[in-house]
Amino acid sequence: MLKRKTGSVDKLKDRLNKGNKKSYDDDRLWKYELDKSDQAVATLRFLPASNADADAYMAANPEIDFTKDDEPIPFWVSMHEHAFKQNGKWYINVCKTTFGGEDCPVCNYNSEAIEGTGLGFKDLPDEHPVKLAVRDRKRKEWHYANVLVVKDKNNPQNEGKVMIFKFGYAVHSQIMDQMFPEFDEDVGIDVSDMMYGKDYDIKMFKKNGQVSYDKCGFAKESSVSEDVKELEKIWKSEFTLQPFVDKTIDKPTADLQKQLNRVLGISAPKVDAPVKDAEQSPDESKPEETPMAGEDEDEAMFQAMLNADDS
Ligand SMILES: [Zn+2]
């Protein structure tokens, strides 16, 4: 069992960093960092799809005629992920539905658990243990986009850099509201447009122990720079996002099943000791900003610790 005492983090990180470079030390990823008053203030500018990502999108959507003007290309890529802890063990893996697969062991296990109650998910009372467990294990949608870090109060060294932002439902909804507004009077805006888009102002704070996006939102229309050469330079420094959703990161069903069984304690030779440091564990009621898949348990826990409190 990994002990997660404050101060041992660096040592742990060093140890985990030995060997393959893993996703959690991906220094291309932008992450907010709360200050002493549990606040984070930053301004990000979503950037248009890179050439490579635009090509991949066009190749994946042959039915769309991209020679016609203004055929939109999303500036983000999306995936589904399962990240949950049971019996003191973490399961963190990309859901196979990300790649169009239907044989995801976790999704199947959830369906069977619901079926076993004889009721539908909606008909189960909110506090029903099966409903709670299924909700905890269910896949969550994540998105990746290139951003220009305009301002980062707690990490000013990021300012001016092009980085990758991984975001969930809250931010994605705000983007969709901008692009496809609910009311006909409002004009949809591509926030990633470098001339006519909008900055995204991040003001995070803690609310009931959870980090809230309530005060984050898009600013007025603005251009990233008046200098076309500068715009081109920024666009050319973007990262290709395809590796986050590429079929090659899909794991065999049998491997995922094995991991799931281990976490669930199915056919495991010994029972896990209870988690003693529960107060240091991430809030599991909302396991949001979880990192990429990792099969090593220490690594998974380390990731979860780094990303414990997003929503
Ligand atoms: Zn799944």
**pLDDT of the residue at 24:** 58
Q: Quick one: pLDDT at residue 26?
A: 87
Q: Is pLDDT at 89 greater than 90 in this prediction?
A: yes
Asked if 150 contacts 44 with a C-beta cutoff of 8 angstroms, the reply is: yes
Give tens-digit pLDDT for 211-256: 888 899 999 999 999 999 999 999 999 999 999 999 999 999 999 9
Task: Provide the pLDDT confidence category of residue 127 given band limits of 50, 70 and 90.
Answer: very high
Question: Ligand 1 centroid vs 106 CA: distance in angstroms?
Answer: 5
pLDDT of 67 = 83
pLDDT for 309 equals 40
Does the reported pTM lie above 0.85?
no
What is the structure's pLDDT at 13?
52
Banded model confidence at residue 101, pLDDT cuts 50, 70, 90 = confident
Ligand 1 centroid to 107 CA: how many Å? 4
d(CA 159, CA 156): 5
**Ligand 1 centroid from CA 161, angstroms:** 34
Cα of 82 to ligand 1 centre, how many Å? 7
Q: Which of 243, 200, 207 is nearest to 77 (CA)?
A: 243
* Buried/exposed 177-198: b ≥16 CB within 10 Å, e otherwise: bbeeeeeeeeeebbbbbbeebb
Domain ranges of the chain: 9-64+73-104+139-306
Contact 53, 59 (CB under 8 A): no
CA 118–ligand 1 middle distance (angstroms) = 21
For residue 134, the CA-to-ligand 1 centroid distance in Å is: 11
Q: How far is the CA of 96 from the centre of ligand 1 (A)?
A: 6
What's the token pair of residue 180?
A: 């496809």
Nearest alpha carbon to residue 176 among 78, 80, 96 = 78
User: How many angstroms separate the alpha carbon of residue 7 from the centre of ligand 1?
Assistant: 35
Distance (angstroms) between ligand 1 centre and the Cα of 139 equals 6
Q: How far, in Å, is the centroid of ligand 1 from the Cα of 131?
A: 16
Tens of pLDDT along 146-205?
999 999 999 999 999 999 999 999 999 999 999 999 888 888 999 999 999 999 999 999
Distance 194 CA to ligand 1 centre (A): 36
Instruction: Indicate the burial class of 61 (C-beta count within 10 angstroms; 0-12, 13-18, 19 or more).
Output: exposed
How much is the mean pLDDT over the chain?
Answer: 83
Model confidence over 267-299: pLDDT tens digits? Answer: 744 444 444 443 333 333 344 443 333 334 445
Q: Which CATH superfamily is domain 9-64+73-104+139-306 in?
A: Replication Fork Single-Stranded Dna Binding Protein (3.90.198.10)
